[in-house]
Amino acid sequence: MSQALRSMGRGATRRRFTRAVSAMAAGLALVAAMAGPGHGAPLYPTPDPDPFYSTPADIADKKPGDVIATRAMPPLMIFPDTTVTVVRFRSTSSEGRPIAATTTVLTPRAHVKDGPLLSFQHIINGLGAECSVSKVLYTGDPNLVVREAPGWNVLLQRGWTVALPDHLGPNFAYGAAKLGGQITLDGIRAVKQVAELQVQQSPVSMVGYSGGGMATAWAAALAPSYAPELNIAGAAMGGVPMNLVKMLEALGLSSHPVFGLALAAGLGLEREYPDRFPLSDQLNDRGLAARAKMANSCTNDILSAGAGHGALDFAKSTSMINDNTARRVVEENSLELYDGVPKTPVFEWHSPTDGLIPVDAVVNTDKRWCAAGAKVQTEQIPVPDHLTAAVLGIPDALNWLDARFRGEPAPSNC
């Protein structure tokens, strides 16, 4: 298993993990610099013309996790003997409104009824429908499909059903953290309701790294209050940005090599908090042009739109960098500051010298969870960078999850 999973970390993977976390930090700095009083209109993604992805008129009458629709997808050669099913379900936005979300379920032939169900929160860089996992799986995009397939196939060969939620939500709110946790939990609720998937009584675990780890960690912390009926066997998370405020403060307003993803994070947060983050109202003409170019784009086009720029190139003013409203929203999406504690056992791993995330926030969060009685197994990977820690930690994380699926008592080094 280790060799197949380590193949996920070569070549383009190194660039993608680095870009993803750096972009999150830069995006938050951009938002803090530009957000302020006003009523700018967010530029939302173009609605998917496929009626399957529409939001039903009665969505407010549905409960979080209720299934809206399912669709059997064509088989994929990269996942032998595996069926693909897209599940639409009701979830909740960061500000409490009903939304429609999506998860893609890979079911291997080796699956047995009520066998293990793993919710795998993938990193998603994008602002439009074509960036969703359910679409990218069929585009042949090597940034997702070719590179990740070997690792996913290891899990499928074990007989695990793997659910891949689009945890950025219907508006592709890149940069919103709490939202990802809610969508992850509602995706699990929904998948367990689909009879033909045969996972109604399955043990459930969650895993993710970096941005996907953030969605996983939020799901674990929110579950006791947001989805108390779910019995989650374990949650494995690595390289998690636990405090976005600290990331903002460390980065400042300097230019960034992947500023396109930074701007995407700002635009995504504006979509999720339009009244509290009126980012578009603070953009100059160049910024508005970049916004229009990337409004429905995925990684490569977003990078192209912002290449070589920084916040000062796109902002009318940076006078609102200390705006209290903007700061409160960032605080609300910082897990170190959230008082909820996971009831499920946690496996957490990180590099102690990771330069892309505030490591002290990870340590502080682990300690707080331990003090509150959570079972936390934390592992420091003795490498200097974010990506290598991901690659070296994933095999241990999945072996830890395998033990949770087998019902073994969870270890803790609190």
CATH number of the domain residue 126 falls in: 3.40.50.1820
Domain count, the chain: 1
The amino acid at residue 222 is L
- Is the residue at 215 inside a domain? yes
pTM reported for the whole predicted model: 0.89
Burial of 122 (C-beta count, 10 Å sphere; 0-12/13-18/19+)? buried
- Is the residue at 153 inside a domain? yes
What's the confidence (pLDDT) of residue 330? Answer: 85
- Is the residue at 304 inside a domain? no
- Is the residue at 283 inside a domain? no
Please give the average pLDDT of every successive group of 10 residues along the chain, which has 414 residues: 37 39 42 47 91 95 98 91 97 97 97 97 87 83 60 90 96 93 98 98 96 95 98 97 81 69 84 89 90 90 86 74 80 94 98 90 97 97 91 93 97 95
- Is the residue at 252 inside a domain? no
Q: What angle do CA 187, 189, 193 make, to 5 degrees?
A: 110
What's the confidence (pLDDT) of residue 28? Answer: 44
- Is the residue at 168 inside a domain? yes
Closest CA to 180 of 228, 136, 221: 221
What's the confidence (pLDDT) of residue 148? Answer: 66
Burial of 253 (C-beta count, 10 Å sphere; 0-12/13-18/19+)? middle
122: its two tokens: 């993938």
- Is the residue at 336 inside a domain? no
- Is the residue at 158 inside a domain? yes
Range of the domain at 367: 57-244+342-405
